[in-house]
């Protein structure tokens, strides 16, 4: 069964550095999402992306965050200047149609020191 | 706004015991409801779903019924196995084009002992 692949599995970065988290969605997926889970807290929606545009974003997704799908395959989340509070597990997800259940990747654990 | 509340964990059971994990929700409109499971070191996997009131979702021996009158979607399994040890998340969808904007509960850690 095809999978959503996220790389790296663990990323350690220093505060203020830029970080890019990568996701390879399943090939027939058209709708893409990023979620995050801070340790001990709920999984939270960050952003949805369709047709090369952001469809919806949460309050968390401020100007420090951006997403893109530059080559039609990889879907990336960039954090421009990381803060300690950005430390979390970040999950990529996709779906072939807007009303289908999401398929999640295994996540990238981001640690900001 | 929308919210999901799961029973507090962790839950520890012996193999073949009956499992219930409670989930209640608050939502506007008529969302779909989901249970996702996260095995150690893995991502969130869809376990089951229900799209409207009185629907029963089922998979791998797990069941949950969408109860609009009690705004609940409790997860049950008649006889758990050690391999069911995982974190279980209840979630609800957004409405319309926001369907994929899921609201999650806090997760319930289940440990099953032989």
Residue of A nearest to B48 (CA): A101
pLDDT of residue B29: 85
Nearest residue to A65 via CA among A20, A4, A112, A24: A20
Partner-chain contact B43 A104, CB within 8 Å: yes
d(CA A93, CA A106): 10
Give me the half-sphere count of Cα atoms (radius 13 Å) on the Cβ side of residue B111.
5
Q: Report the gap between the CA of B66 and the closest CA in chain A (Å).
A: 16
Condensed to tens digits (0 to 9), the pLDDT of residues B72-91 reads 999 999 999 999 999 999 99
Chain A residues close to B101, C-beta within 8 Å: 33, 45, 48, 56
Q: Is A108 within 8 Å of A90 (Cβ atoms)?
A: yes
What DSSP designation does A100 have? S
**What is the full per-residue pLDDT of chain A (113 aa) written as tens digits?**
778 999 999 999 999 999 999 999 998 999 999 999 999 899 999 999 999 999 999 999 999 999 999 887 899 999 999 999 999 999 999 999 988 999 999 999 999 99
- Local structure of residue B83 (DSSP, 8 states): G
Strand, coil or helix: what is A10? strand
How distant, in Å, are the alpha carbons of A83, A101, B56, B88, B96 from that of B51? 38, 11, 9, 19, 12
Measure A63 CA to nearest chain B CA, in Å.
20
Q: What is the Cα–Cα distance from B11 to B99, expressed in whole angstroms?
A: 30
Instruction: For residue B43, give the nearest of A42, A98, A107 by CB distance.
Output: A107
pLDDT in tens, B8-47: 789 999 999 999 999 999 998 889 999 999 998 888 999 9
If you count residue pairs, one on A and one on B, with CB atoms under 8 Å apart, how many are there? 52
DSSP A18-86: -EEEEEE--TT--EEEEEEE-TTS-EEEEEEEETTEEEEE-TT--TTEEEE-TTSS-EEEEESS--GGG
Q: With contacts defined as CB-CB under 8 Å, which chain B residues touch A57?
A: none
Tell whether A103 lies on the interface with B, counting CB pairs under 8 A: yes
CB contact under 8 A, A45 and B103: yes
Q: How many Cα atoms occupy the beta-carbon half-sphere of B9 within 13 Å?
A: 25
């Amino acid at each position: 069964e095809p999978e959503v692949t996220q790389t790296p599995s663990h990323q350690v970065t220093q505060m203020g550095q830029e970080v890019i988290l990568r996701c390879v969605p399943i090939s027939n997926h058209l709708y893409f999402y990023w979620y995050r889970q801070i340790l001990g807290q709920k999984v939270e929606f960050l952003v949805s992306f369709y047709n090369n545009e952001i469809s919806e974003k949460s309050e968390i997704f401020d100007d420090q965050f951006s997403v893109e799908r530059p080559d039609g395959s990889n879907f990336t989340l960039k954090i421009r200047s990381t803060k300690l509070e950005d430390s979390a597990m970040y999950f990529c997800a996709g779906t072939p149609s807007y009303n289908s259940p999401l398929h999640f990747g295994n996540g990238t654990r981001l640690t900001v020191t | 706004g929308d919210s999901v509340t799961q029973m507090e964990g962790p839950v520890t059971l012996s193999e073949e015991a009956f499992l219930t994990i409670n989930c209640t929700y608050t939502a506007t409109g008529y969302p779909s409801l989901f249970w996702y499971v996260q095995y150690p070191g893995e991502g969130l996997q869809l376990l089951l779903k229900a799209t409207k009131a009185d629907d029963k979702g089922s998979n791998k021996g797990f069941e949950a019924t969408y109860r609009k009158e009690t705004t609940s979607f409790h997860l049950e399994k008649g006889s758990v196995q050690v391999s069911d040890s995982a974190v279980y998340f209840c979630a609800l969808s957004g409405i319309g084009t926001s369907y994929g904007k899921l609201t999650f509960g806090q997760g319930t850690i289940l440990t099953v002992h032989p």
